[in-house]
Structure 1
Amino acid sequence: MFPARSLIRVVPALSRGIATSLPKHGGGAWAYRASPAKASKFTLFKAEMVGAVMWWWILYHLMTEPEHITGEFPYPDPSKWSNEELGIPADDED
């Protein structure tokens, strides 16, 4: 096993720690204590369209194929099952 000090020397990123300032070499907008930049109207429109298509897909398939929720076959009536089908032994058996 490596001691912790040699591991820190091998991996310099561990010795730097966590910084909450801007990255040195770019990396996009940093929003630690400030509001992030607002999305463009086109991006919001695309998000709304994706959401609308998703809900259309879900509701359309719920209306046209309700078997996904209710099941494919009718639920059997348990009162019509015999004792043999249920695995209940006859009364005259010991």
Structure 2
Amino acid sequence: MLLSRGAPLLKATKLLQQNAPKALQSVRNSSHVWNYRCRGPEPPKTMVYLAEAVQGVAWWWVLWHLWTEPGHVFGEFEYPDPRKWTDEELGIPPAE
């Protein structure tokens, strides 16, 4: 009796396995979209505009402070003329 019930069950499982979709590649670490030799998905327009605005503010900040406070980059004091330095200041021993 078990044999008569087992044969149709085996045939059914074989048919189900044949019709099951085949997995071409297993997905590992699928926390993001992975693109290989193709372009990624386009970002939303709002993100593009927001990124442009943030970049504009950042460049304005840098250029404005270079214009109004150049001492932070170039120094606040005049650079001394090295031709006026003495040998003693430079650490050169006296010529004998």
TM-score (normalizing by structure 2): 0.58
Moved more, 78-87 or 60-69: 78-87
Percent identity reads: 46
1:32–1:82 CA distance, 2 compared to 1 (3 A): closer
Indicate yes or no: 2:82 matched with 1:78: yes
Structure 1 unaligned spans of 5+: 1-20
Q: CA RMSD in A?
A: 2.4
**Alpha-carbon deviation of 1:47?**
0.6
Distance in 2, matches of 1:22 and 1:36, equals: 20
Secondary structure in 1 matching 2:58: helix
TM-score (normalizing by structure 1): 0.59
Asked which structure has the greater CA Rg, the reply is 2
Indicate yes or no: 2:50 matched with 1:46: yes
1:59–1:87 CA distance, 2 compared to 1 (3 A): same
For 1:51-78, what per-residue CA distance to the aligned partner results, in whole angstroms no more than 9, with x for missing partners? Answer: 1011011101111111233222210012
AA matched with 1:51: Q
Matched residues, number: 72
> Conserved in 2, the CA contact under 8 Å of 1:83 and 1:89?
yes
Secondary structure in 2 matching 1:68: helix
1:90–1:70 CA distance, 2 compared to 1 (3 A): same
Distance in 2, matches of 1:90 and 1:38, equals: 71
Distance in 2, matches of 1:73 and 1:40, equals: 49
Instruction: Answer 1 or 2: which has greater helix percent.
Output: 2
1:86–1:33 CA distance, 2 compared to 1 (3 A): closer
**Alpha-carbon deviation of 1:23?**
2.2
